[in-house]
Structure formats: structure tokens, C-alpha cells
């Protein structure tokens, strides 16, 4: 039996079924130094100089390091500069705990459920 490693990273952009008009960025796997730039790029690619509401679905993210946190903070700042919003949706308990421990949880609107 092959050892099971971390789930492969992926980031997908679509329209948000729960919030018409918002863009949904769904990440899965680990957001770390190798993958954080791809998450940030996927978010920022949605701006095009206009206000946009972005929801980042973290329900399938198993790991988030400081690079991932930094990418989310930079993206939130940039989205806000053009008049949009960035929300995080359904972070797994381990990921939510990282946001709490680092003190950045209050910088984001976090949706659950």
C-alpha cells in the first residue's frame, strides 16, 4: 500500500451559487510557500480594476502556513482597495485555529455552514 500524503493542491474559480454576483475561489490541499502565490493570483485575477466580492472556500484546505496567511491578507487588502470584499468560507478546524492563533481571524469575515 502506498503511503498517503497530502492531498494535491488545486484552485478553481467559479461563480458562487450561494451569493449571486460573487466570485468563488475554491482551494484544496495545502496552502504553503509553494502554492500561496497561486491562490493570491487567482483572487487578484478577478479584480480587473472593478469592485468584486470574492469568497475563498477553504473547506478542502488541510494546511495553511504563514505564506498562505500572508497571501490571503495581501489579497484582502487589494480587493478592498478597489471597493470589493473578500470573505473566507468554511475553513477546517485546523485552518481556523491557525487563523485564530496568528490573530488574523478578526481581519476576515468568516462564513460557516
The HSE-up count of residue 58 (CA atoms within 13 Å, CB side) is 30
CB neighbourhood size of 50 (10 A)? 9
29 with 62: CB under 8 angstroms?
yes
Averaged pLDDT of the chain: 91
Whole-angstrom distance, CA of residue 56 vs CA of residue 105: 14
The pLDDT of residue 12 is: 87
* pLDDT for residue 14: 87
pLDDT, position 89: 97
pLDDT less than 50: residues of the chain: 1-2
> What per-residue confidence (pLDDT) applies to 56?
97
Amino acid at each position: 500500500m502506498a503511503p498517503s500524503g497530502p492531498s494535491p493542491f488545486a484552485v478553481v474559480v467559479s461563480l458562487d451559487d450561494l451569493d449571486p454576483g460573487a466570485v468563488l475561489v475554491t482551494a484544496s490541499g495545502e496552502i504553503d510557500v509553494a502554492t500561496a502565490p497561486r491562490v493570491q493570483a487567482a483572487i487578484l485575477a478577478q479584480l480587473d480594476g472593478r469592485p468584486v466580492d470574492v469568497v475563498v472556500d477553504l473547506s478542502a484546505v488541510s494546511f495553511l502556513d504563514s505564506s498562505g496567511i500572508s497571501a490571503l491578507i495581501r489579497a484582502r487588502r487589494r480587493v478592498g482597495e478597489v471597493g470589493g470584499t473578500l470573505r473566507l468560507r468554511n475553513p477546517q478546524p485546523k485552518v481556523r485555529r491557525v487563523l485564530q492563533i496568528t490573530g488574523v481571524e478578526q481581519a476576515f469575515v468568516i462564513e460557516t455552514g
